[in-house]
Copies of this chain bind each other. A is one copy, B any other.
Amino acid sequence: MAVGVHIIADLYGVDARLISSSEAISPIMENAIQEGHLTKISSEYYQFRPMGASGIALLAESHLSFHTWPEYGLVTLDIYTCGDRSNADRAFDYIIKVLRPTSVDYHKMERGSQIKEDVRITDPQMML
C-alpha cells in the first residue's frame, strides 16, 4: 500500500511563449487541476525577471507544481496526488496536450509505500 502517487516530469522543447510568464502558466495549472478532478486549497504564482515563472497549488490530495525556464524551453512539473490515481494522469495528460513538449523525462513514484496498515495509530488524543 502507498498513500499516493507522484508524477515527476521534466518537459523539454516547450514553446517559450507558453511558459514565460505567470499569466501564461496560471490558466494551464488551474485547468489541469479541474481536468484531474482535484481539489484546490490554494495556489500561488511568481514571476521571475527577465522571464520564467513558478506556480504551486496546495491540493486536498497533496500538490501540483510548475517551474519554467523559457530560455531552455523547459518546464519541471510535479503532480502528487492521493486518492484516485487516475487523477494525476488526467492532469498530466492535459498539461502535455497544451504544452506539446518535444521530449519528456518522466518518473512515477509511489509515496509512503512502506507504511504498515497494522501499526496504524488510533490514539484519540491525536485527533484535533
Chain A residues in the interface with B (C-beta under 8 A): 3-4, 6, 8, 10, 12, 16-17, 20-21, 41-42, 44, 46-47, 49-51, 54, 56, 58, 60, 62-63, 65, 67, 69-74, 76, 78, 80, 103, 105, 107, 109, 111-116, 119-123, 126-128
Contact = CB atoms under 8 A, between A and B. Distances in A.
A72 B21 contact: no
Contacts of A8: 6, 8, 109
Contacts of A65: 62-63, 65, 80
Contacts of A111: 10, 67, 76
A47 B41 CA distance: 11
B44 A120 contact: no
B70 A115 contact: no
A71 B12 contact: no
